[in-house]
Amino acid sequence: MAIQWQWSDKLGTSNERVAFYGEVSKLHFDRFRIDTNLQATGSYQFENWFMPVVPKDSLVLPSQDPEDEERYVLVKSNDPEIDPDLNSARFTFTVNRDEPHSNENKIWVNWGIFDSPSDTDLSKV
């Protein structure tokens, strides 16, 4: 799953984008990676819909930084978060960073269900 936030601030428009990863075999989401592929204009090099096809071990995104674990906290659940029988997934996380609230804030959510951790088929997003 990929989530991108966008909000206005003193410097113009700020963006932040995170990919969250879960595996059916584990029934839980267990990792996230922050996208740092920004152009000089402050926009991303590729669209948010592309993010779910980036494998969690890909070199396209930097590894999960231990310092970011305080900013994005995956809330652990005792119940399965991924249910292959119902073709559903859910997870909870908190975001600990400053973000001003306004009517201009935007959020994009894209997800994909893939056959393996290395599957990059864009048609599954």
pLDDT tens digits, 7-60:
887 777 788 899 999 988 899 999 899 898 887 777 888 889 999 999 888 888
Stretch 69-88: mean pLDDT:
88
> How many CA atoms lie within 13 Å of 18's alpha carbon, on the beta-carbon side?
17
Q: pTM of the prediction?
A: 0.84
DSSP code at position 35: -
Q: How far apart are CA 83 and CA 25, in angstroms?
A: 10
pLDDT tens-digit map of 85-117: 888 899 999 988 777 777 888 999 999 988 888
